[in-house]
Amino acid sequence: MDNRPIGFFDSGLGGLTSIPYLRRELPEERVIYFGDTARTPYGSKAVTTIRSFSTEIAEFLVKCNVKMIVIACNTVSATCLDELQKRFPKIPILGIISPAAEEAASVCEPGSRLGIIGTKVTIASHAYQEFIGRFDPQFRIYEEACPAFVPLIEEGIIDNEIMDMTIRYYMDDFVLGNQLDTIILGCTHYPLIKANLTRIYPGLNIINPSSIVIGQVKRILSERDMLADHSDFTDVFYASDLSENFINMIDHIFADSEEFNEKKVKFMNFDLEKERLNGLL
């Protein structure tokens, strides 16, 4: 048993899409979340930059004494997982791609046509192809970068014609032209536009890594006897730019959650420069 919190991080608010599944599956667990909202998006940046940002955040979470780190960001998982695991060998670090790849390999029928959508960096890395390839899939895989989705989602432009047009711009040829039957939401921001995708492409199966990763969290913690056993928690949400957008999005994502309605959570602004000067980073 281990009652320390689990650390989650993302380039912004995308990783928050995993938290309701954690609440549902493992209600006793407490969370420290870090959204790098001041430097989002990561998905069009150089890998060296993403590496240095994500190392800083992982170091911070380790200093917060988390028992496990979940990289709730496909872009970081695709590019920095091995390095973060090597750098922090004492703490389990889980990327979001491998659990989703395993799920895709098990649910897609032979002959399926599977699409992966994600940021430029995730798609260029072919990390999903590589992980799925380990299961010797009997289906075809297609990939498409959709870089304008994240800035729109961070701005809360979701239930809106601009978002629908952007989806069609990137995805009409991709989904319809390739006759896809299934897609993986290869960016943790994308579950926030799942309803748009279902409306625009009815009948398309959607695999959501933000929910699937929680099954792996549970497996790893129970194998190591590290599940928490009390529910007296306060989740803490750090953002490097604690903007109104970030707080509004938390309200939106957790609209049905009792803890959030009772405001049993803390929001903290994390001043990157100040913390760096203080030696915390």
Taking the complex as a whole, the smallest distance from the CB of residue 244 to ligand DGL amounts, in Å, to 19
The DSSP secondary structure of 214-239, one letter per residue, reads: HHHHHHHHHHTT---------EEEEE
Part of the chain binding ligand DGL (CB under 6 A), chosen from 68-76, 170-178, 250-258, 267-275? 68-76
- Is 73 one of the annotated active-site residues of the chain? yes
In angstroms, the CA 145 to CA 171 distance is 10
Query: Is the separation of the CB atoms in 239 and 9 below 8 Å?
Result: no
Please provide residue 124's backbone torsions phi and psi, each rounded to the nearest 5 degrees: -65, -25
CB atoms within 10 A of CB 155: 13
CB atoms within 10 A of CB 160: 13
Q: Which is nearer to ligand DGL, 6 or 16 (CB)?
A: 16
* Contact residue for ligand DGL among 61, 73, 105, 242 (CB under 6 A): 73
Rule CB under 6 A: is residue 41 a binding residue for ligand DGL?
yes
Rule CB under 6 A: is residue 211 a binding residue for ligand DGL?
no
Q: Which is nearer to ligand DGL, 152 or 228 (CB)?
A: 152
Q: Which is nearer to ligand DGL, 119 or 182 (CB)?
A: 119
Part of the chain binding ligand DGL (CB under 6 A), chosen from 41-49, 195-203, 222-230, 243-251? 41-49
Query: Is the separation of the CB atoms in 185 and 223 below 8 Å?
Result: no
Q: Binders of ligand DGL: how many residues, by CB under 6 A?
A: 17
Radius of gyration (C-alpha) of the chain in whole angstroms: 18
In angstroms, the CA 131 to CA 161 distance is 35
In angstroms, the CA 175 to CA 168 distance is 9
Taking the complex as a whole, the smallest distance from the CB of residue 9 to ligand DGL amounts, in Å, to 10
Rule CB under 6 A: is residue 7 a binding residue for ligand DGL?
no
Does an H or E element contain 79, and which? Answer: helix 74-87
Part of the chain binding ligand DGL (CB under 6 A), chosen from 55-63, 71-79, 126-134, 223-231? 71-79
Overall residue count recorded for the chain in this entry: 281
Part of the chain binding ligand DGL (CB under 6 A), chosen from 72-80, 105-113, 155-163, 224-232? 72-80
Instruction: Using the CB atoms, write b or e for 252-279: b if 16+ within 10 Å.
Output: ebbeebeebeeeebeeeebebeeeeeee
Q: Which is nearer to ligand DGL, 145 or 221 (CB)?
A: 145
Rule CB under 6 A: is residue 143 a binding residue for ligand DGL?
no
Interface residues with ligand DGL (CB under 6 A)?
A: 10-12, 14, 40-43, 73-75, 119, 122, 150, 187-189
